[in-house]
Structure 1
Amino acid sequence: MAKVKDLTPTIGDVGGTDLGIPFVMPNGKVGFVLGDTFGGTQPWGPPITGLTNWRSPVILKSPTRDMAQPIAFDGACKGGAQLWPYQHNNGTFSTVLPCDAITIGNRIYLWVMITQGLVNELWCEIWYSDDLGETWVNGTNSTTKWSTTAYRGQRVMMTWDRGRDGWVYAISTGGLARNKNALLWRVREEDILDPTKWEGRCWINNAWVWKTNPADHEPGDLLASGARLGELGLRWIQGHWVWSGFDDGAYSSFIRVGHGPIENINWRTAPITRPVRGSGFPLGFDVVDRLYGCYVHPDSRFQKPDGTKGTFVMIVSQWAADGDPYRAMQYRVATPNPTGPILTDPAPPDAQPVSEWDAILAEFVGHP
């Protein structure tokens, strides 16, 4: 394992920030979703005083798709501004924190938590953009707010990816208290904005079944009792479901790997690696103190086209200390072993081809 680089501070007056949740945008670039972001190089920490240009969420854009290379940025949605206007600390909530983004056709969906201070998530929303992140629409109204107390408080932080079969599959956990287990969900791509169409994976009559809007029988925990999860990332990679994230109980990152239909994976016994630790002895290159975040990059690969071992990259965050801003970082980590046949990613039928004209067109329409 090796640290490749700090991803922040960087362009667009992005100084102290975190997360850097990577997802593939409709034009083939990779978006990196940032949480609370401040200008300059100041650290973030309570009380929030003397800091400039507070905004969240923010999305940086990168053309880097080769995980053997350092990630470079060539732009930001809205020039690095907050994706939609709202006032922080407005009396109802303090900030909007992103959890994950997904591209379906030309649309980007973004799951966010509305919070009143840390560890106090009020509700969740899904926003979407049809113009590469330049303008955003709230797909959640007053009757479809996503509750942060339903399902034992385990549908707060959400991660998702397309199953290449018309369904979006998602794993959720609690909020920033990082004291909850995980649940499994699915929803038809066209119904992603409708909470009543989501199906939870439930344990009923000694069998796992999908159940629509399972208010009368809640989804079952994916991991053994006592799991304490933080930020999560779920990506379909070469026929495998790769679930990454932050394990607060072990104070480490994790990568769990399962093959085939996600409903057939036993995540309790699935192979797990812990490439980056938050502490421990002996102190070494794999220790990042004040660790959180921990997202596997979607361009990570188990195997290269020539059959040799591929490269896995994880984006991890580190909280501020000693006058340094908090930040997101690129780590090259040990490639997990695949658990099934390697498949070439069948790009969704609505995926947009990437060509040399994309940059020219983007410049012409004003969306670099």
Structure 2
Amino acid sequence: MNVVGSGSQISSSVGLSRRMFLGGAAGVVGAGLVAGTMPSAAATDSVVADGIRISKVADLTGPDITGKYGIGYVDLGIPVRCPDGRTLYVFGDSFGPNWGDNWKSPTALWSRTRGLSSGVTFSGAVGGEQASQLIPYEHGDEISTIIPSDLITIGDTMYLQGVVNQGFGNVIWSGIWTSTDNGATWTDSGARFPGAAYDKMWQLFTWALGSDGWIYVYSAEFLRESPMILHRVRPDKITDPDAYEPWGKAGDSWQWGAGPDPVTDGIIGEMSLRQLGDRWVFTWFNSADYRIDAMVLDHPTQDLRTTESITLLHGTSWDNEDINHVAQLYGSYVIPGSSLDDLHLTVSQWNTGDNSIYRVMQYRFRGLGRRL
């Protein structure tokens, strides 16, 4: 494949490797099939599975939705509350007006939506009328793309952790960028997490500030080839990699300062950790089983190997979709305003067969807290 747009050009090696990575198991069952006809907004349609009522709320992006911002084709949509109360949705590789045109990553849109059940809508783009790339760099041999993995707001500052690729999947380092103007501009903090550190498990982050004053950080390999490790850090040290305390085994017990040792056996993909009330929710793309799973936790340090894993969405082929079976799905990020009993996630979907669909959707899961 060699996609040439009116802006940047995606090389065949980057494009194909990205298709294989994000397609995963989905690419095997979905590639080349005609896109399904599942409605773009199905808030009135739901299904109950494993005690959870599941519904698709809306497509959040697409040529007819976010094309006006110059990014009709985007994925991920990692949401974080801004200091001023808006929500910023940050996307990965972004294109428009056609798939492959004007390659940017990351990009972002603001939303003022608080009533999540009616569907998230966007109020503006970072960059003005046309969304701009948040981090200044050229897509080329030195850096092919920077993919966001998570964001957090501490006081008046927003922090974006991103994975720097030199050829897709070849992570040379990940870093942290900061914003003090609600995401309008971003500055490199200088934080560098080496791509090879901890058997590559310090690349892709999700993090959340607990009520105990610590930021807890789950991390894994960007290429969905590793289990997960855990660190914690104080908010005022978030841009100092040396201040991150690992969680690991010391003899027969687990403690801070040891390890880090894997806290899961299974492979972890894109993920989201958030504290909701007095409990935590952890969602992730389970690429091995082709689905999006969740755990409800008392604390990020609890034994994940003995914690129940709950499947929220199953992967399927394009001609076999229904409410909780989604073709070529990935991602899964908790939308601010969610609760355990009314959880909203952004979920990505890409038809790697013809690129006709490359979007972010909003799904709703009711009863997760009551179920447990």
Question: What is the TM-score when the length of structure 2 is the normalising length?
Answer: 0.79
**8 Å CA contact retained: 1:17, 1:38:** yes
Q: Does 1:197 align with 2:236?
A: no
Distance 2:219 2:249 in 1: 17
Pairing partner for 2:274 from 230, 235, 247: 235
**Aligned to 1:208, what secondary structure does the other structure show?**
strand
> What is aligned with 2:101?
52
Tell me how far 1:66 sits from its aligned partner.
2.4
What residue identity is the alignment partner of 2:368? Answer: P
Q: Larger strand proportion, structure 1 or 2?
A: 2
**Aligned to 1:301, what secondary structure does the other structure show?**
coil
> What is aligned with 1:335?
367
What residue identity is the alignment partner of 2:134? Answer: L
What residue identity is the alignment partner of 1:63? Answer: R
**8 Å CA contact retained: 2:162, 2:175:** yes
CA distance change for structure 1 residues 221 and 16 in 2, over 3 Å: closer, same or farther? same
The 5 Å alignment of 1:100-179 reads 100-140=150-190, 144-175=191-222, 177-179=223-225
Distance 1:12 1:2 in 2: 27
Distance 2:333 2:311 in 1: 12
> What is aligned with 1:61?
110
Distance 2:371 2:311 in 1: 17
1:238-265 CA-to-partner distances (Å, cap 9, x unmatched) read: 1111111101111100111112x432x2
Q: Which moved more, 1:321-330 or 1:250-259?
A: 321-330
> What is aligned with 2:147?
97
> What is aligned with 2:3?
none
Q: Larger helix proportion, structure 1 or 2?
A: 2
Pairing partner for 2:306 from 269, 282, 288: 269
CA distance change for structure 1 residues 117 and 6 in 2, over 3 Å: closer, same or farther? farther
Distance 1:120 1:338 in 2: 42
Question: What is the TM-score when the length of structure 1 is the normalising length?
Answer: 0.80
Q: Which moved more, 1:318-327 or 1:92-101?
A: 318-327
Q: Does 1:258 align with 2:297?
A: yes
**8 Å CA contact retained: 2:291, 2:315:** yes
Q: Does 1:83 align with 2:127?
A: no
Tell me how far 1:100 sits from its aligned partner.
0.3
Pairing partner for 1:313 from 336, 344, 347: 344
**Aligned to 1:17, what secondary structure does the other structure show?**
coil
Gapped regions of structure 2 (runs ≥ 5): 1-53
Count, aligned residues: 311
Task: Report sequence identity in percent.
Answer: 35
Distance 1:101 1:299 in 2: 16
**8 Å CA contact retained: 1:258, 1:339:** no
**Aligned to 2:118, what secondary structure does the other structure show?**
coil
Distance 2:108 2:154 in 1: 17
Tell me how far 1:128 sits from its aligned partner.
0.3
Tell me how far 1:299 sits from its aligned partner.
1.7
**8 Å CA contact retained: 2:88, 2:183:** no
Q: Which 4+ stretches in 1 moved above 6 angstroms? A: none
What residue identity is the alignment partner of 1:336? Answer: L
What residue identity is the alignment partner of 1:251? Answer: Y
CA distance change for structure 1 residues 204 and 126 in 2, over 3 Å: closer, same or farther? same
> What is aligned with 2:89?
32
Distance 2:275 2:370 in 1: 12
What residue identity is the alignment partner of 1:220? Answer: D
1:211-242 CA-to-partner distances (Å, cap 9, x unmatched) read: 1xxxxx53111113xx1111011111111111
Tell me how far 1:323 sits from its aligned partner.
4.5
Q: Does 1:288 align with 2:335?
A: no
Tell me how far 1:170 sits from its aligned partner.
0.9
Q: Does 1:220 align with 2:220?
A: no
Distance 1:103 1:335 in 2: 27
CA distance change for structure 1 residues 323 and 18 in 2, over 3 Å: closer, same or farther? closer
**8 Å CA contact retained: 1:121, 1:148:** yes
**8 Å CA contact retained: 1:172, 1:182:** yes
Pairing partner for 1:322 from 354, 360, 370: 354
CA distance change for structure 1 residues 218 and 81 in 2, over 3 Å: closer, same or farther? same
Distance 1:192 1:339 in 2: 35
> What is aligned with 1:345?
none
Q: Does 1:210 align with 2:249?
A: no
**8 Å CA contact retained: 1:237, 1:298:** no
Q: Which moved more, 1:24-33 or 1:280-289?
A: 280-289
Tell me how far 1:65 sits from its aligned partner.
2.1
What residue identity is the alignment partner of 1:275? Answer: L
Tell me how far 1:84 sits from its aligned partner.
2.5
Distance 1:28 1:223 in 2: 35
What residue identity is the alignment partner of 1:238? Answer: G
**8 Å CA contact retained: 2:145, 2:168:** no
RMSD over aligned Cα atoms: 1.9
Pairing partner for 1:245 from 260, 281, 284: 284
